[in-house]
Structure 1
């Protein structure tokens, strides 16, 4: 799948659902945005902002007028998921911008969010664009237990704060699918591999494991990863999610072990950045930066635990 491509989600019994490769970080197969073409058309996830024109192109390809989009939403406000929201709010003037309540104010006035993102992603900031503030009268705040009615589909909101305190996941019962955000890890489809995500500053292992259990209880046939794409799991949902719980637990343990052996946290980050093999799937620059960022998140978690 190439950057800008739009594909119908055919996994399981999914209908009315499409996904786009946004070319996030100038990398194919890393950042997805989903479009539900229902009575109330919806965009789920918004990318980092630099790619919002691709989302509008995808709407055109699906014959959806931006003025007809009624919902723009995201699983959490990290800018790789929410950075395009302000641009889409302008382009889709009739859409509700549905944001997890815990982070809504940070998208209305994104200054603190931008500063935190720059601190977290380091050199990767070169791939971002300053997000546009979202007018408060356009924002609909989401809490766990809420549901967004789209017509034949609804998005049921479940809190999943392990990756970030403002994260939710969206259950789509009609498609027997869940938009996972980062609660189920990062799926690398061309390697059929699930890998960790543990960015600073809110990563909490125990809560992440609870979020994985939540997803297992929902027991969807299809996991819709932002990173990256749909994955049919059918009756194996529990096993697949247990696999991610193991990956995440072993990752934290590996960072903790390496940290005990090295003198400085910077050396721990450098060790994992140089040792990563994910460059084969993305590119070396992105893979190394991702590894270093994930190490920082684990270090912050370890320090808070102590």
Structure 2
């Protein structure tokens, strides 16, 4: 899939569902935004905002005009998921932004969110744009157990705070699918591999493992990954989740071992940046920066645990 491509999701029995490759970090098949074309059309996550025009073009291609979009549903407020929300809200005046209560102030005034993102992503900030603030009267809070009615579809909200305390996943019962946010890892379709995601500053291993139990209880046929794309897990949800649990536990153990062996945080970060196996898929720069980000998240978790 190439940057800017819009495809209908045909995995499982999905209908009315499309996804866009946003070209996040100038990388193919890394950042996806989902579009549900229903009575109340919806976008699930918005990307970082850098390639916002691609999202406008995708909505037009699906047949959703500026006055038609009604729902901007954010799985969490990390800017690779919510960075485009303000641009979208400004151009689509009938769309409200749905987000966990922790995210409201950060969307209305993104300054602290921007500062935290710059600190977390380091050199990757060059791929971002400053987000647009969203008027508070356009923001709707959602919590575990809520549902967003779209018509034939609804988005049922399940808390999934291991990756970040403001993260939720959205269950779409009509499609027997879940928009998994970052709760189920990073799916790499090119090599059909699941990878860890453990950014600072709120990564929590035990809660991430608990979030996998949440996904297991939903037991869908399809996982819709923002990183990246739809994946069939029909009849094999627990195997997929056990696979990611093992990836997370092995990753945290590997960082802990190097933390004990090496002298200082940057030595540990550099070790994993140099050792990444994803260069052939994401390119040297993105693979290295991804490893740095995830290493720093685990180091923060280990420090907090102590």
TM bracket (short chain): over 0.9
Q: For 2:63 and 2:215, how far apart are their aligned partners in 1?
A: 33
Q: For 1:73 and 1:52, how far apart are their aligned partners in 2?
A: 16
- Of stretches 14-23 and 46-55 in structure 1, the one that deviates more from structure 2 is 46-55
User: How does the TM-score come out when normalised to structure 2?
Assistant: 0.99
1:208 aligned onto 2:204: no
Match of 2:32 in 1: 32
1:42 aligned onto 2:48: no
User: Counterparts in 2 of 1:88-127, with a 5 A limit?
Assistant: 88-127=88-127
User: How does the TM-score come out when normalised to structure 1?
Assistant: 0.99
Note the C-alpha offset of 1:104: 1.4
Match of 1:281 in 2: 281
Structure 2 residue runs of 5 or longer lacking an equivalent are none
Match of 2:271 in 1: 271
Match of 2:133 in 1: 133
Q: For 2:281 and 2:142, how far apart are their aligned partners in 1?
A: 34
Q: For 1:48 and 1:148, how far apart are their aligned partners in 2?
A: 23
User: Counterparts in 2 of 1:138-149, with a 5 A limit?
Assistant: 138-149=138-149
SS in 2 for 1:290: helix
SS in 2 for 1:234: coil
1:191 aligned onto 2:191: yes
Q: For 1:44 and 1:269, how far apart are their aligned partners in 2?
A: 32
Match of 2:171 in 1: 171
SS in 2 for 1:133: coil
Q: For 1:130 and 1:296, how far apart are their aligned partners in 2?
A: 23
Moved over 4 A (4+): none
Q: For 2:89 and 2:7, how far apart are their aligned partners in 1?
A: 23
Note the C-alpha offset of 1:240: 0.4
Q: For 1:64 and 1:296, how far apart are their aligned partners in 2?
A: 40
Note the C-alpha offset of 1:67: 1.2
